[in-house]
Every structure is written in structure tokens, then in C-alpha cells.
Amino acid sequence: MATILVTGGAGFIGSNFTRAALAAGHTVRVLDDLSTGLRDNLGDVQAEVVIGSLTDPEVLAGAVAGVEHIVHLGAIGSVPSSVQDPVRCNEVNVTGTVGLIEAARAAGVRHVVFFSSSAVYGANPATPIGERDWVRPMSPYGASKLSGEQYLLAAQQSYGLQTLVFRPFNVYGPGQRADHAYAAVIPAFLDATLAGRPLRIEGDGEQTRDFLFVATVCRVLLAAVERGVWHPEPVNLAYSTQTSINDLVSAIGRAAGAHPQVEHVPGRIGDVKHSRAANDTLLQLFPDIEPESLDEGLAATVTWWTN
């Protein structure tokens, strides 16, 4: 069994992964500043929780001490908030990541798994889009994630650090919040559907996304840690699905046993029309992991939500 540091472990994906790792018998330490994550997300799980920032070298030194693997999920994760405060986004997502690499090196940690983002592709309209296609972020958030992933890959070449960089697409599931201004589409739609409010669709609803259930993500992350998987290039984390927002509304209605009302509003400037991952590399590295379907994932999410 391994000792794992999870940065951002009180967040949506981090708390789900922490529970999965503990259930598999591993020892987990969480580092989170609780700026977006919630201590309640971890409930009474048997993980050591360190409250502190990625930008604090002393906190990082203590957090990495004695761990064998780092799963680096901690970040300023909102595109709109990064536009409002790009300096803070850079401090956490870039400087914080470089600081974590240095702390890992000093502590002798050899394996780091990093969550980048499909936002690095930005203005590239290719679909499905592969890891070697050109990147052009459209926000400070996307730029910061691209910078962070390149630092991880450079550390692999410069210091022999075994790193694995994931570019996740649209992750959803239990624990994802709807109670803030930048909520992702699925929790926002579920919250509105269950409350009987109309769903706000930006544009015509024919834009498509590659949705991925958080339990699938956790299985991939756990396999990466347990097998010590590393790779010299970024890896798309998605299963090459293509669901329109209109079809998503229908799927949410089925899962919730409801008939959502829809309100169309103008589309966002610069919004990507279609987003879908090429996932050949993911399937080569993790051939044994089968993803949940959208209907399965939404059903589990609705169950969590209503409970």
C-alpha cells in the first residue's frame, strides 16, 4: 500500500479520489486551502488533512514529507475567476506547481500525477482533438494549466521525476457544487431541474462536450498510482463521447424523472462549439478501465443529490 498526497483533496474530484484511495487501503494526506474545496466534503474519512496553500514553501515541505506519490489536483479552477484575477491564478496554478515540484524533489518523491485541463486546446477547433494537436488557451486558466503541465514534463527530462500529465475533459458526479456563480453545466442543470427552475442554455444547445463520470476518473488515477504510470507527453482523460447540451437536458430529465423547462440565452463569446477527446493514449495506458455511461453517471449523481 502507498502513501499519497492529494493536493486539492477537499474539492470535488479530490474528495472523491481520497475516498477511493482510502477504500483501496492506501494512506492519504490531503493538502487544501479550502478556498473552493469544503472540509465537509471529506466528512469523517481517515485522511490526514493539512490546511494550507500551494504557495507556502513551509506548508509544501511538510505536506510532501514521507509520501511516495503526489496527485496534484489543487488549482484555481474557474475560467471566469482567472479572467478577473490572472495574477492570483498564476500564483497558485504555476508558481504553486513549481514549488510543489521542488518540494517533491527535496523530499525524494519520485512520482507525480498532475491534472491539467482540456482548456489548453482553447481555440483549436479539431474534433476529436489529440495530444499532439496545437494548443492555444483562451483564458488565463488555460494558460496556467499549460504552463503547469510543461513544468511537470520538463521536470521529467531535467530531474528524472516520473510524471503523468492528464488533460481531463468535462468531469461530473457526486460532490460537484452548484451553489456558486461558476458552477459547471451538469450540477447547475440538476439543481435547476430538481428545484423546478428553467435550465439556461447558452446559444442553440447544439454545442457538444465529452462528459466523464468522476468514478471513472478515480479508477484511472488509482491505477496510475498503484502501477506508477508515467508518460513523456500529456494524456487526454476522456472517452471520446460527444453529447450535445440539448441531449444532456434530455438525459438529466430521464435521470431525475422530470421534464426540464429550457430558457435559451445568448451564447458566450469565445465559447468552444465542440469539444471531444482523442483517447488512444489513455486506452493504451489503461486498457482495463471501462467508463460509466452518461445515463449511469447521471443516475448515481441524482441519487447523491437527492440524499
Residues 6+ apart with CB under 8 A from 54: 7, 31, 33, 60, 74, 92, 96, 97, 99, 100
Phi, psi (rounded to 5 degrees) for 63: -70, -35
Q: CATH 3.40.50.720 region(s) of the chain?
A: 3-172+211-240+276-292
CATH superfamily of 185-208+241-271+295-306: UDP-galactose 4-epimerase, domain 1 (3.90.25.10)
Options 141, 151, 172, 239, the catalytic residue: 141
44, 49, 137, 191 from 220: Cα distances, Å: 24, 23, 25, 28
Instruction: Report the alpha-carbon distance of residue 64 to residue 109 in Å, rounded.
Output: 8
- 141 catalytic per annotation: yes
Q: CATH 3.90.25.10 region(s) of the chain?
A: 185-208+241-271+295-306
> Could you tell me if 117 and 63 are in contact, meaning their C-beta atoms sit under 8 angstroms apart?
no
pLDDT, tens digit, for every residue of 124-140? 999 999 999 999 999 99
> Could you tell me if 234 and 299 are in contact, meaning their C-beta atoms sit under 8 angstroms apart?
no
pLDDT, tens digit, for every residue of 179-200? 765 568 999 999 999 999 999 9
Q: How far apart are the first and last CA of the chain?
A: 32
pTM beyond 0.85: yes
Over residues 37-65, mean pLDDT: 95
Q: Which class is 3-172+211-240+276-292 in CATH? A: alpha beta
